Structure 1
Amino acid sequence: MSGPRPAARLNQFFRMSRLLAGQLDFLSAIRSVADEIADVVAHDHLDVCIIRPDGKVHTAYETGIDTAWGSQPNCPVAFSPIRALLMGEVDHMISADATSDPQFHFAGAFVKPIHDHQLRSRIHLPMVVHGEVIGALSFSLHEAGQYGAADIRNGGYVAELLSPYFFALRAAEQARQSAIVEAAARAREEGLRQGALRLTEALETERQRLGMDLHDQTLADLTRLARRLERLSRTQAADPSELAAACEALQASMAALRSIIDEAKPTVLHLFGFAQAVENHLERAIRDSGQAIEADLVVDGASAIDAMPASVSVALLRIVQEAVNNAVSHAAAGRLEVRLGMVGGQVVITVTDDGRGLTQVHRPGGAGIDNMRTRARLIGARLSLGSGREGKGTVMRVALPLAEMHPNVRNAS
């Protein structure tokens, strides 16, 4: 086929270069210059197939006619009709009628589009960068016997022009894929790290909670029993019934320990409510102490506590338990009062005793008060400890505002 003069051909190549500039993917790149290429080498179908960096598969990007070559990415090079060119075995391929040309037909060759679209006249030229075949530029016409030596030469110029740009696109795509793989790996690693961090935090929180529960309830129970047994051991004529009661209390304390470990929640609280749980603990603490302590429980608003999330009601119960344990075990109190009520939109709980007072009862470094303060902070409550009337005894007060609580809690007030 004849063509324009060299100056005009050079201008065509310049226009192709300008059209390629800014194209960021293979398909838009080949389609942007298809019309200009048609003035150099006539075609009904034009495609560029790019070999992936692994050298095993290729993908075709086509214009003019959409065929199965373009719809099936990552086809094996070994089954390409032009595998001899892609593998560097020949420097070009030309056919007067590809539908019957044996060079395209071998076992497994993907030649269906040739027959489906009657792509008879064909030229295939290598795209080479740094001595490496990165793909092929292919021209096809429906009419047979249309291509000659001039078309091979002119098509070679086009292939040389396109090759560096498509090589850059392939490198950019490979970099994007590598970045995606790396980002996915980092995301998985970060997900595992965050998961491990959350698990560690949850385990640490549970460990601290169990430690506080054991201190607030079971350890206090065992301490009282140990002192009671110590008193009985100093009595020459120990009452068998008292020893039996102490043993029974010890068994109950051990059962409570198992309950904390197995369920980590106070069963009475969830079955019968907050007030009943406080009363149950108050009675047990006084009974196990073996002391004559008068105790009162005044309830005015426990329903609001029962409507709270379990984590909040458990924390409040543990605070009350610790305050009761301190009064019974350390304060030498003769009277103890626990009051549950609502004051100004707050749940307020006070534990008051007439014992020795803070300065004598709470030793420096004791974990009980720290546990109470920690529990209060975790649920947004305010906790205060002070002396009773006329400086006698101890008053523990915990106040929890309902403004930020669940609507069911506010309604229960």
Structure 2
Amino acid sequence: MTAERDEILQAVSSAVLAVTRHLSVREVLQVIVRSAQRLLDARYAALGVPDDDGSFAEFVAEGITDRQWEAIGPIPRQHGMLGAMLREGAPVRLSDLRADPRFEYWPKAHPVMKDFLGVPITDGGEVLGIIFLANKRTGDGFTGADQDLLQVFAAHAAIALANARLYERGRELAMLEERHRVARELHDAVTQKLFALRLSAQAAGALIESAPGRAAAELERVQRLAGEALGELRAVIVELRPAELDRHGLAETLRKHVRMLDRLQPARVAFEADALPPLTSAVEVAVFRVAQEALHNALRHAEARRVAVRLSYAGGTLVLAVEDDGTGFEPSLSRGLGLVSMKERAESVGGRMAVSSAPGEGTTVRVEVGV
């Protein structure tokens, strides 16, 4: 058993160290939970990382099938024993979870749990989450030694979550710096040309009756400046183009993005695509950004459990559809959720966007672009 324990702990350590390569904290947390379940011989194991809305940003579990999850319903809220552990930040070891006054209830299809062991995941005194086991298969429940070992797994989870936070902060800083750089370039190049273009257009308007020749010269200058400004804007757009689009194209880049979200989010996110013709850089960027925004809305705001993304092509028209089963909304009453920017992105490449939604009935974002 000692050899097996060392092997499992080595696997967990390797998974934690590989988090920056995987870029999937959920995968690492799944390894930790699965390993804890196996080593401590528990029927059920889970790990939850709370969000700011009373639910969990991450919740991974072992011992429950997909069919059982569907019957249970949404991921748990921060109530009962889970909420108490997050508030108290102390280990809990019980012979019967149901006898503890902090226990409240389970959904109807939830499996019955008796003996229980949970420990907080902490970083510098801050509770990042909880890891817990239930229904030990052998013996008379969880022991003090089991608790000590589970705290080792919690420490590994804390490292993984701390690394993820550092990575996310670094990514945000990089994005902020890139925005500032683009803003400077727009100001230094494009803005100056647009200002000069405006002055030339005003001069042409003032001279068109009194000095038609000079007005014509100013109009030629307007045309030249407009072309230069357009070129500058295209250069900035190319720089903003995700590098993956250059390497893999729209379909594969979106496929990888969806696969990552499916691993990181509790919702099921699926993708399918037809064979696509060669697409211009502008079309690829516009469609990809609309897809990103629609996915963000579905996963962060609509509380969707399932999201389907599809790229199709027929008759010279590229179609993006992002459909979710979330809370829905009334499109005619909303100008938020990035709808305006998505519509503008679609129209910038000659496309059109339509949103179908209603409260309680999910949302479908559909973009059509002639290519």
Higher relative contact order (CA 8 A, sep 6+): 2
TM-score of the two chains, using structure 2 as the length reference: 0.45
TM-score of the two chains, using structure 1 as the length reference: 0.41
Q: Which has the larger radius of gyration?
A: 1
